[in-house]
Amino acid sequence: MNKVELWKAVLGELELSLSRANFSIFLATTYIVEIKEIDKQRQLIKIATPNPFHRETIENRYYGQIKEILDRLTKKKNEPVFVIKTRPIPIKTDKTTDSGPLFQQKTASKSQVIKKAIVKACLRPDFTFANFAVSSTNEMAYAATQAVAEKPGAAYHLLFLYGGVGVGKTHLMQAVGRRILEKNPETALVYCTSEEFTNEIIGAIRQKSTGSFRKKYRSAKVLLIDDIQFIAGKNTVQEEFFHTFNTIQSIGGQIIMTSDELPETIKGLEDRLRSRFEGGLMVDIQEPNFELRTAILLIKAQSANIPLPMDVAQLIAANVESTRRLEGTLMRLGSESQAKKQPITPEMAQAVLGKVGQRPEKKIKATPIEIIEVVSNYYQLKIQQVRGKRRLKHLADARHIAMYIIRTELKTPVVKIGQIFSGRDHTSVLHAVKKITKELTISEQLRLDMAAIKQGFF
């Protein structure tokens, strides 16, 4: 049994005992680099892993299992050693046909057709399953999208991915689209945001070309639509999408949608659409935990050719929660390293984290009403709603932030703040200030929102 056959047998056993997501993300890309005999009963086996995170995870989680399988298959005592090495891209040849220029041109043409289809669909080249880090916070979504990619329209006719900003909804949705086009570049696939869908409807109505618009969307075999919550409250858009949805579903097509919230909480969404959305598979993608943030950093660093040590990745992941800010911090760190011509160190990362986290230390010069106006505009609410007595969560959150800023920046007495907000008791103001103070210590998104709001006063 050579090294290729041996590792294929090992992976075959591991695939049966591990979850599909864990096997795909951690072990599917590994392979044996070298088998070195130590003596007649012992041998060293070098196993390639794509990056430091994969190596460490495999060593910690699967070392014993891999060694046991190797020992049993080889009838020797093995010492697995994991190294970082990517598999060279093989040169494919077809032994059943002539390998001359004519057939090489056909292979190249197929690759070009796939690439052209992906570009035409406006899919990002880096949004692939291989570039997606999996953990307990998104494992269900990863498995569901894999199933849809393998059998579009059969596994789940509608997949509804929901979660906060930057958790990977769009990445997974586009990865499905890419996989489908790689298998069949002729697939009628349409990807768009709900804003683009809306703008196209408006343009079609103005130009009297609604027929072309409907042909484009209703003939799609796969429809991927981002941020579906933004069609809420737009009657014409919802009407058109309702019929588009029904048409694609009736022909056995696949629909994937992303949203920041569940259908039941989207205000202004028609009941008939809400019921159809809830009829599909709805999967929540949670905020990334520390381990997932570390993995995301290492994957993005590898893609950007930035040599990022494990300890530095963990340092950044411990201090930055927002996935969008993770990438910004990584790019800043890479630029710093390149400019100084020095390797990335924890000290350099600490300095960059300090710069990224700096906020202007200016004193706000505004009246309480002006602060309420800025907060209202930021959250796209009316001033009366923020000052009013309704206790809907999105109104209460904005109200608490406004109270916090007025109290901490203007030092306005809590009794007066209560009077400004429809005569509330001073205890309500104190509760709001304490609540926001606590949340600022744990919520990266709230800190970003607060910084953006305060920028409106300078």
- Span 62-84, pLDDT tens digits: 888 899 899 989 899 998 999 88
Only one residue has tokens 């696949």, namely 254
- DSSP-derived letter for residue 393 is H
Residue 264 burial by CB count (10 A; 0-12/13-18/19+): exposed, middle or buried? Answer: exposed
Backbone phi, psi, residue 136, to 5°: -65, -20
396: left (phi > 0), else alpha (psi -120 to 50), else beta?
Answer: alpha
Could you tell me the pLDDT band of residue 141, with boundaries at 50, 70 and 90?
confident
- pLDDT for the residue numbered 458: 52
Report whether 10 contacts 28 (CB < 8 A).
Answer: no
Report whether 22 contacts 136 (CB < 8 A).
Answer: no
- pLDDT for the residue numbered 310: 85
- pLDDT for the residue numbered 441: 63
Closest C-alpha among 456, 457, 384, 399 to residue 433: 399
Most confident stretch, 46-60, 153-167, 184-198 = 184-198
Cα separations (Å) of 234 from 120, 269, 366? Answer: 28, 9, 36
Both tokens of 401, joined, read 């932030």
Q: Which of 14-18, 65-69, 119-123, 143-147 has the lowest mean pLDDT?
A: 14-18
Of the chain, the end-to-end C-alpha distance in Å amounts to 71
- pLDDT for the residue numbered 356: 53
Across the range 224-245, mean pLDDT stands at 89
pLDDT tops 70 at residue 101: no
What's the half-sphere exposure (Cβ side, CA atoms, 13 Å) at 119? 6
Ordered structural domains, the chain, with CATH: 3-84 (3.30.300.180), 120-285 (3.40.50.300), 290-357 (1.10.8), 368-455 (1.10.1750.10)
* Calpha distance 73→99 (Å, rounded): 37
pTM of the model: 0.54
- pLDDT for the residue numbered 360: 38
Give residue-wise pLDDT tens across range 382-426. Answer: 999 999 988 888 899 999 999 999 988 888 888 889 999 999 888
- pLDDT for the residue numbered 289: 77
Could you tell me the pLDDT band of residue 86, with boundaries at 50, 70 and 90?
low
pLDDT tops 90 at residue 436: no
The per-residue b/e assignment along 298-332, b for 16 or more CB within 10 angstroms, e otherwise, is bbbbbeeebebbeebbbbbbebbbbbebbbebbee
- pLDDT for the residue numbered 19: 67
- pLDDT for the residue numbered 454: 78
| Bigger pLDDT: 131 vs 236 | 236
- pLDDT for the residue numbered 444: 66
Closest C-alpha among 182, 160, 110, 167 to residue 135: 167
* Calpha distance 248→223 (Å, rounded): 8
Q: Distance between alpha carbon 167 and the CA centroid of its chain, in Å?
A: 4
Report whether 97 contacts 87 (CB < 8 A).
Answer: no
* Calpha distance 268→336 (Å, rounded): 47
